[in-house]
Structure 1
Amino acid sequence: MLTKIAVQTIKTKWKNLLILFAGLVISTAIFYMFSTVANNKAFLTANTSIKSIIVVFVIGEILLGLITFIYLNFANRFLVQLRQREYGLLMMFGANKLSISRLLFMETFFLGLISLVMGSFLGAGLTIVAGNVLQKQLDLTLPHWQIFNSTGFIITICYFIIVFSLNGFLNQLYINRTDINKLLQANQSAEKTPKTGVANFITGIIGIVLLILSFVVMAQLVAKGIFILIALVLAIVLNISGTYLFIRSSLTLVLNVLKGSSLSATGLRRFTLGQLSFRLRAFERILTIVTLLFALALGALTVGRGYELSTPTLAEQSSPFTININQPSKQDDQLISQLQGVTYTKTYQYKQLTNEIVWDAAQFDREPLPYYKSSTSDNSSFTASVPKIQFGNANQISKPNPSDFLIRKTLTDLATATNPNHISIGNTVDTHKFAISKAPVKRVTIVHVKNMTSQPNAQILKKLAATQTKRFPTLATLGVSGAYGFLEISKGVFGGLEFMGFFLAIAFLVMLASTLMFKVLSNVDIDRRRYQILTMIGATPAQRIFANALEIAIIFIVPLTIGIIDVVYGLPMFKALMVNPYIGLTSSLLIIVSFYTLYYVLTVIIYQQMLKKGNK
C-alpha cells in the first residue's frame, strides 16, 4: 500500500519535483562521467606524463563525491519541506509516524533510483559527446578513451544507492523526531537572523587567514619540491574551511553596513537586503560548495587552455622552420603553395654519401639558412616568447662560433630529415666537394608559416607530414623535423592534460549550475507569499522583478568573486608543469563568466515564471 502511495505521489507531484529530479539526474550524470575517466587507468597513464595522475583523479572523485553528497542532502531537505505539511495532515487522520517515515523513505528511494538510471544514461551520453567533440576540437587522438568503464559504473551505482538509502533513513529520523504541530506549520516559521558581534568578526578574520594559508600552500609547497598531492589536499581543506568561515561572517557584516547606509533607502533595496539576511544561514554551505566548484571549473579550463595555447609556442621555440619536405613531389609543392602566412620557403640541394651529407656552400650564400641565435639566458628552460629568426650564410655555418651554435643545430635537423634511416651522419658545407661528388642531387624544402594551427595551414601541414611518413616509414616513430613535428609530439605528451582540463571544466560547470540554480529555485514556495505582500502594498511588477533579480545577483556574485581570487592565487601550483600557468586565464575567465551569467539569467527567468504560476 505504501509503495502505491509513494509511486502515485511522484506521478501527481512531478511538476513540483521537476527541479529536484533534474538536479538528481545531472549530479548522477556528472559523477558517472567523472568516475568513468577516473577509473580508466589505461587512458590516464597513456595520455599524461604525470605519474601521480591516477591518485589525483581518485582524490578528485572523492571530492566530487563529497560535493554530490552535500548537494543531495539539500535536495533531500527540499523533498521533506515540500511534503511535511501533508505528512502532518496524514498524522491527524490517524497515520502513525512509522508509516509516514516508511512512505518518505520509499519516495526518496524511488525518486533516487529513477534519477540514477536516467543519470547513468545521460552520463554515458555526456561522456560520448564530451570525449568526441573535445578530441575533434582540440585535434587530439587519445588512446584508450572509453564511454563505459565497469569499475566506474559499479562505483556510481553503489555510491548513489548508499546515499539515497542514507537520505531515506535521515528523512525517517526527521519525521520521528518532529512534532505534528511543527509539520502542520511548515514554511510558516521565521528563519533565524544571523547574529553580529565580536565573535562574528573573529570568525571572518580566521576565514581570511585560512584562505591566505591555502594560497601560500599552493605556491610554496610545489616551489620547494614537496609532493604535489600533499599540497593539493592541504590547500583544499584550508580553502574550503576559510571560504565557509569568510562567507559566514563577512556577508552578515556587509549586509548590515548596507542596511544602515543611504543606498538601502531607495526602491525595494531594504526588502532585498532583509531577504538575504534571513536566508544567509541556509546559503552558507551551498555558497561554499559553489565557490569551490566555480574555482575548480575556472582552474581546470585555465590549465587546459594554457596547454592549448602554450604548446604551439613551445613548438615554435624548437625550430626556426615549421616543416621540412624531403624530396618534395609536385603534389607537395602544390600543397606548400596553398599555405597561408608563409614567412619564407627555401629549397636546398644536397648529396648523400656513405658517411656524410654534402651541402653546396654557394647556395647558403644565396639563400641564408634560418636559425635561432643563442642568448645568454638559460636555454634549458622555456620562455613564453619565440626567438627572432636569424639567417646565416655559408661562412657563419662553417665557423665554429659558440654564440651561434644553434645554426649548426638547424643544419643537423635538416641532415636528420634527409636521412630516412636516421643513421649517425656528418655535415659538410663545401661547394667544391658538392660539385665533384657523383652522388645524385637531392632536394629538401623548408617552410615557415606565421600560424601553423590555423586553417587551412593545420590541414595542409597534416597532409604534408602524412606524405613524408608514407614515403619514409621511420618518420612514423620519430616524427618529421621542424616545429610542426614537435607540435605533434607535444600533443602526445600534453594532449591528455589539455583534454582533461576541458573535460573537468565541463563537469564542474554543469554541477555548479545545477547546484546553485536548484538551491535558489527551491525557495520559490517560501518567497511567493513575500512577493504577494509586496504586491498588496503597491509594488509594481517591474520593482518586484528588479528586487528579485538583485537578490539573486548578490547570491551569484559571492562565489564568482571568491572563486576568481582562488584561481588567481592557486595557479602558481602549475608552474612546474606549464610554461606560463596564467596564459589561459583571460580567455577561460570570459568563457566561464559568460556561462555563469547565462545561468543567472535563466535562474531569474525560471524564478519569475514559478512565482507567476503560483499566483494563478
Structure 2
Amino acid sequence: MLTKIAIQTIKTKWKDLLILFAGLVISTAIFYMFSTVANNKAFLTANTSIKSIVVVFIIGEVLLGLITFVYLNFANRFLVQLRQREYGLLMMFGANKLSISRLLFMETFLLGLISLVLGSFLGAGLTAVAGSVLQKQLDLTLPHWQIFNSTGFIVTICYFIIVFSLNGFFNQLYINRTDINKLLQANQAAEKTPKTGAANFITGIIGIALLILSFVVMTQLVAKGTMIFMSLILAIGLNISGTYLFIRSSLTLVLNLLQSSSFANMGLRKFTLGQLSFRLRAFERILTIVTLLFALALGALTVGRGYELSTPTLAEQSSPFTININQPSKQDKQLISQLQGVTYTKTYQYKQLTHEIVWDAAQFNRDPLPYYKAENSTLTAGVPKIQFGTAQQINKPNSSEFLIRQTLQNLATATNPNHLSVGNTVDARKFAISTAPIKRVTIVHVKNMTAQPNAQILKKLTAAQTKRFPTLATLGVSGAYGFLVISKGVFGGLEFMGFFLAIAFLVMLASTLMFKVLSNVETDRRRYQILAMIGATPGQRMLANAVEIAIIFIVPLTIGIIDVVYGLPMFKAVMVNPYIGLTSSLLIIVSFYVLYYILTVVVYQRMLKKGDK
C-alpha cells in the first residue's frame, strides 16, 4: 500500500520534482562514468603511456563521491520540505508517525532508484562520448575502452543505494522527532531574526580574518612545498570556516548598514534588503557549500584548460624544429609540401659509422643548424627565438652556444635510435672520404602544429616514420611534435578530468542553490501578495525578486573566484603557469552559472504567479 502511495505521489508531483530528479540523474551519470574508467583494469594496463590517468580517475571518483553525498543531502531536504504539510494532514486523519516515516522512506528510495537506473544509462552514454573525446584529445587509439564495466557499475549501484538509504533513514528521524503542529505550519514558520550585537560583529571580523589567513596559507606554505598535505588541509579548513562565518555575520552587518542608508529608500530596496537579512540565516550552510563547489568547478576547469593550453607551448620550447624525417620518401616529401605556415625546411646529409655519425660541415655552413640560445626557458617567458649555427659554431670547444651540439645530438639520436650515445663529427673532409652510404634527414618547423591541416599531416608523417623505424614507437619521433604527443599522454587525463569534474560540480552547486531558493516559494508568495496590496506593480515585484536571487547567487560567485585566484599557486609544483587557463575557464563557468540564475528566476516567478491564480 505504501509503495502504491509513494508511486502515485511521484506521478502527481513530477513537475515539482523535475529539477531535483534531473540533478540526481546527472550526478549519478557522471559518477558512473568515472567509476567505469577507474575500474577498467584492461584499459589502464594496456595503455602504458597514459598510466597517470589511473590516479586521475580515482581522485575524480572520490571527489565526486564526497560532493555528491553532500549534494544529495541538500536535495533530500528539498523533497521533505515539499511535502511535510501533507504529512501533517495525514497524521490528523489518523496515520501514525511510523507509517508516515515509512512512506517518506519509500518515496525517497523510489526517486533515488529511478534516477539511479536512468543515470546509469546516461552514464554509459557519457562514457562512450568521453572515450571518443579522450582519444581525440590524446590523438591515440586506446584499446579496451568500455562503456560498461561490471565493477564500476556495482560500485555505482552500491554507493547510491547506501546514500539513498541513509537519506531515507534521516527523513524518518526528522518525521519521528517533529511535532504534528510544526508539520502543519511548516510553511508559516517565521525565520529567525538575525542578531546584530557585538558578538555578531566579532564573529564577522573573525570570518574575514580566517578567509584572509586561508589565502595566505594557499599562496605561501603550499606554494613553497612546506608540509604540502597539512597545509592543504589547513587551507581548506580555514577557508570553509571563514566562508561560513563571513556569510553568517559579515554579510548581515553589511545589509544592516545598507538598510539604514539612503540607498534603501528607493523603490523596493528596503523590502529586498529585509528579505535577504532574514534569509541569510537559512542560507548560510547552503551558500558555504555552494561556494566550495563553485571554487572546485572553476579550479578543476582552470587546471584542465591550463594543461591543454600550455602543452603546445611546452612542446615548442622543447625543440627548435617541429619534426624530423629520417630518410624521407617521396610520400613524405609530398606531405611536407602540404604543411602550412612553414618557417623553414632543411635537409642534411650524414654517414653512419660504427661509433659515430659524420656530418658534412659544408652543408651546415650553407644551411645553418637551428637551435635555442636561451638555456632556461619557461612557459611564462614564451618560446625562445630560434638561432642558426654554422659548422664553426658547432665545433667550437667550450662554446656558450653548446645548445647547438645538444640539438645535433637530438638529431643524431633520432636518426640512430639503437645507439643513444652515438657521437657526432662535423667535418667535410671526413664525410667525403668515408665509404659509408649517404643518408639524409629533413627537419621542418611550422608556426602552428596543432592547427589543421598541419596536425593531421604531422600525424601521418609520424606514423610513417614509426612504421619504417619500429624503435621510434617507444622513443618517439624527435622534435616539438613528438614531445607534444608524449605530453598529451601524460596530461590528457588531467585535461579530461578537469572538464568533467567542472560539469559535475557546476550542476550540483547550481541545482542545490536552486532547490533552496525554490523551497521558499510558499512563504514568499504571501509577502509578494502583500506588496501587490500596497500598490507595488507586477514589474516592481518581479524586479525585486530577481535582485534578491541575484545577490544570493553573487555571494558564492565572488568568494569562489577569490578562492581560485589565491588557490591556483598550489599547482605551481606541477604546472609552469597555473593561471594560463583562468580567463577562458572563468568565462565558461560564469556563463553557465548565469544561465542557472536565469532559469531559477524564471521558475521561481512562474511558481509565484501560479499561486496568484
Number of the residue aligned with 2:182 = 182
Number of the residue aligned with 2:549 = 552
Q: Distance in 2 between matches of 1:474 and 1:90?
A: 76
Tell me, yes or no, if the aligned pair for 1:296 and 1:505 is still in contact at 8 Å: yes
SS in 1 for 2:285: helix
Number of the residue aligned with 1:465 = 462
The question of 1:261 aligning with 2:258 is answered: no
Q: Distance in 1 between matches of 2:509 and 2:44?
A: 25
The 3 A distance-change label for structure 1 pair 257 and 149 is farther
Number of the residue aligned with 1:485 = 482
Equivalent residue in structure 2 for 1:439, among 436, 439, 455: 436
Number of the residue aligned with 2:410 = 413
SS in 1 for 2:400: helix
Number of the residue aligned with 2:203 = 203
Deviations 1:414-460 (A, max 9, x none): 22222253454322222222233333332211111111111211111
User: What amino acid is aligned across from residue 562 of structure 1 in structure 2?
Assistant: I
Number of the residue aligned with 2:85 = 85
Please, which runs of 5 or more residues in structure 1 have no aligned partner? none
TM-score by length of 1: 0.92
SS in 2 for 1:442: strand
Q: Distance in 2 between matches of 1:391 and 1:327?
A: 23
Equivalent residue in structure 2 for 1:601, among 584, 598, 603: 598
The 3 A distance-change label for structure 1 pair 393 and 82 is same
The 3 A distance-change label for structure 1 pair 334 and 545 is farther
Tell me, yes or no, if the aligned pair for 1:384 and 1:580 is still in contact at 8 Å: no
Number of the residue aligned with 1:388 = 385
SS in 1 for 2:123: helix
Number of the residue aligned with 1:368 = 368
Q: Distance in 2 between matches of 1:131 and 1:516?
A: 31
User: What amino acid is aligned across from residue 544 of structure 1 in structure 2?
Assistant: R
The Cα shift of 1:407 comes to 0.4
SS in 2 for 1:504: helix
Number of the residue aligned with 1:526 = 523
User: What amino acid is aligned across from residue 333 of structure 2 in structure 1?
Assistant: D
The 3 A distance-change label for structure 1 pair 223 and 3 is closer
Q: Distance in 2 between matches of 1:430 and 1:190?
A: 92
The Cα shift of 1:296 comes to 0.7
Tell me, yes or no, if the aligned pair for 1:222 and 1:576 is still in contact at 8 Å: no
Q: How do 1:156-555 residues align onto structure 2 when only pairs under 5 Å count?
A: 156-226=156-226, 228-375=228-375, 384-419=381-416, 421-422=418-419, 424-555=421-552
Q: Which moves more between the two structures, 585-594 or 523-532?
A: 523-532
SS in 1 for 2:190: coil
The Cα shift of 1:565 comes to 0.9
Q: Distance in 2 between matches of 1:437 and 1:445?
A: 21
SS in 2 for 1:581: coil
Q: Distance in 2 between matches of 1:204 and 1:57?
A: 39
Number of the residue aligned with 1:578 = 575
The question of 1:592 aligning with 2:592 is answered: no
Tell me, yes or no, if the aligned pair for 1:321 and 1:447 is still in contact at 8 Å: yes
Q: Percent identity?
A: 87
The Cα shift of 1:612 comes to 3.0
Deviations 1:166-207 (A, max 9, x none): 332332333233332222223112111211222222222222
Q: Distance in 2 between matches of 1:144 and 1:202?
A: 59
Q: Distance in 2 between matches of 1:241 and 1:37?
A: 34
User: What amino acid is aligned across from residue 554 of structure 1 in structure 2?
Assistant: I
User: What amino acid is aligned across from residue 384 of structure 2 in structure 1?
Assistant: P
Tell me, yes or no, if the aligned pair for 1:348 and 1:443 is still in contact at 8 Å: yes
The 3 A distance-change label for structure 1 pair 90 and 382 is closer
Q: Distance in 2 between matches of 1:128 and 1:298?
A: 25
Q: Distance in 1 between matches of 2:599 and 2:61?
A: 29
The Cα shift of 1:552 comes to 1.4
The 3 A distance-change label for structure 1 pair 138 and 428 is closer
Please, which runs of 5 or more residues in structure 2 have no aligned partner? none
User: What amino acid is aligned across from residue 168 of structure 2 in structure 1?
Assistant: G
TM-score by length of 2: 0.92
Q: Distance in 2 between matches of 1:174 and 1:85?
A: 13
